[in-house]
Structure 1
């Protein structure tokens, strides 16, 4: 026979699972990961009528039931020490569980962004190593996990990070053409930093490719709008200003017109 507390926790867990399921179709545009975080913030504490302990228990029950969004929420909580003691081993466990169990999830499914980002996070742990979990630094495995997120899931952040790896000799080797290819994939999905890096490469020119200052400035301008108010605003602004100072008035004018024409597809114009 279930106790009152057991029934209470089951009730809370049901609310969490229902909220997680409904988060896939929110009223405003957001990722599933954002929806899970919003749900947790809503239920946490007195404002949601749910104690932190009950919320944690509910999330654990949902994770045990195979809910990837609950695993993601728990992983981020333990990774950042939000509401729980910081524990990278537990965080790694939840992220790797998502990646292992949902590696072949539908690339455009409701939870695909969470699965893709779990691959990215597990890749980060393999890049740096996690001795407490018996994980040695393994750049090859880290690259493979990141490439799965970038290729199979088409995750923009993963694509941007692959592009960065092609700018480092000790990562995937310096290959500006490959880097530009990956940045372009992410840029066209509205990834601000990728737009800036693509713009810089095009403005300067690539090996075997003449500089394209107008298109480069266009992407830098779009990026500057896209990252406004974020932690990337400073370096993107510096990059744009540097390019503007080297461009001709005609190039600046044409790039601005192009950015205003196509920017709405890729940024905030």
Structure 2
């Protein structure tokens, strides 16, 4: 299914000839006969030293010569505007190059494929203005591949949210959403823990749900803290005093034990 989506994206003309990787000046940047892996390592050293322009050129050469890790680094740099001007479409194309490799689960390179699938899911879910139209169905297929084949926690979390809202051509199902959220939460995904906690709270499991949201808030990244805090505070305001105290104690136990609820 994911292959058909990839073919459809190509057929739709999303991969124009412009903006592709340029040839790397092998004479200027490396001795002759250096392997792509050696150039990739030089690029990584340049990146760590703050010479990101040199890193980009090294990564381009290594990527053009089959180094999937170099392709992933380029994709991430363009996606985050790290050392280059942010360009989501360039990142989108590099991520697609990675996914086209179709690396088998268990391969040393599976983390690159897994991350690229999640990134493509996000781009297709939201679209890229002027380049890629939103396509929730295609997004769901990429998320599903990462969630099921590579057990990616972020993809499992995204699947849970899509089942909650009935997105991506799927019928809304709290049960299916809970299944995916549990898988992500067990891996320590704070967003999944908070969302699952809210579901438990709304289903009447007040203490457990509130405790999970409270623990998730402490574990969450700065990016996720605002929405988790809003959800937790709303639930906290609705809970009785006894339930609040019990939930706080349970959350402290979860955090102290490092437990993933």
- TM-score w.r.t. the length of structure 2 is 0.76
Task: After TM superposition, list the pairs within 5 Å mapping 1:158-197 onto structure 2.
Answer: 158-171=155-168, 172-197=170-195
Aligned residue in 1 for 2:7:
none
Identify the residue that residue 29 of structure 1 maps to in structure 2: none
CA change 1:127–1:262 in 2 (3 A) is closer
Measured in 1, the distance between the counterparts of 2:245 and 2:142 equals 42
Q: What does residue range 38-187 of structure 1 map to in structure 2 within 5 Å?
A: 41-45=47-51, 52-106=52-106, 110-129=108-127, 137-171=134-168, 172-187=170-185
Shift of 1:71: 0.9
RMSD value over aligned CA atoms? 3.0
**Which residue of 216, 231, 238 corresponds with 2:223?**
231
Q: What is aligned with 1:242?
A: 234
- Whole-Å separation in 2 of the counterparts to 1:3 and 1:122: 31
Instruction: Report if aligned partners of 1:120, 1:149 keep a CA contact under 8 Å in 2.
Output: yes
Could you tell me how far apart the structure 2 residues matched to 1:174 and 1:7 are?
54
Deviation for aligned residue 1:175:
1.4
Task: Note if 1:259 corresponds to 2:254.
Answer: no
CA contact (8 A) 2:36 2:61 kept: yes
Q: Distance in 2 between matches of 1:148 and 1:258?
A: 35
Residues in 1 aligned to 2:32 and 2:202: alpha-carbon distance in whole angstroms: 59
Q: Is the 8 A contact 1:124 1:142 kept in 2?
A: yes
User: What per-residue deviation string (whole Å, max 9, x for no partner) do you get for residues 2-28 of structure 1?
Assistant: 9852535876965553479xxxxxxxx
Aligned to 1:230, the other structure's residue is in SS state coil
Contact 1:167–1:176, Cα closer than 8 Å, also in 2: yes
Sort the Cα spacing of 1:149 and 1:3 in 2 relative to 1 into closer, same or farther, 3 A.
closer
1:111 Cα deviation (Å)? 3.8
CA contact (8 A) 1:9 1:57 kept: no
Deviations 1:192-246 (A, max 9, x none): 11111111100011xxxxx21121012111101111x602212211221222222
CA distance in 1: counterparts of 2:97 and 2:240, whole angstroms: 53
Mark the CA change 1:217 to 1:83 in structure 2 (over 3 Å): closer, same or farther: same
What CA distance in whole angstroms lies between the structure 2 residues aligned with 1:87 and 1:127? 17
Give 5+ residue unaligned stretches, structure 2: 1-24
Q: Taking structure 1 as the reference length, what is the TM-score of the superposition?
A: 0.74
Gaps of 5+ in 1: 21-35, 46-51, 206-210
Tell me the matched-pair count: 234
Change (3 A) 1:16 1:239: farther
